[in-house]
Amino acid sequence: MNAKQMYQCSICDSTWETQYEAEECCQPEVFTVWMCGECDTEYDDKDHAEDCCPEVEPLGTPHGWQSHIDELERAGQTRLSFGDQL
Ligand SMILES: [Zn+2]
Ligand SMILES: [Zn+2]
């Protein structure tokens, strides 16, 4: 008598002729969760996860930004005065 190898689902004990069928039998249920990138708290939906820890806004303007604007204004004035001379 020939022995026949079968593949058994480890969850419901069903037997299958191919390993593929057995693996497909009781696939684990996969849930989607959203996680706060800051403190790793899990949420069911994205909005809650995004609202968990507020993003820290950089305070004030970067150093040197105001002096850069002053430079641009000076350059503009210089160009204007050139135009007046011509
Ligand atoms: Zn199964
Ligand atoms: Zn958080």
Render pLDDT for 22-73 as a digit per residue (tens, 0 to 9).
999 998 777 789 999 999 999 999 999 999 997 766 666 566 666 666 777 7
36 contacts 45 by C-beta, under 8 angstroms: no
CA distance linking residue 11 with residue 29, whole number of Å: 12
36 contacts 52 by C-beta, under 8 angstroms: yes
Q: Residue 12: nearest ligand to its CA?
A: 1
Question: What is the pTM assigned to this prediction?
Answer: 0.34
- What's the whole-number mean pLDDT along residues 12-26? 94
Centre of ligand 1 from the C-alpha of residue 21, in Å: 9
Q: Residue 21: nearest ligand to its CA?
A: 1
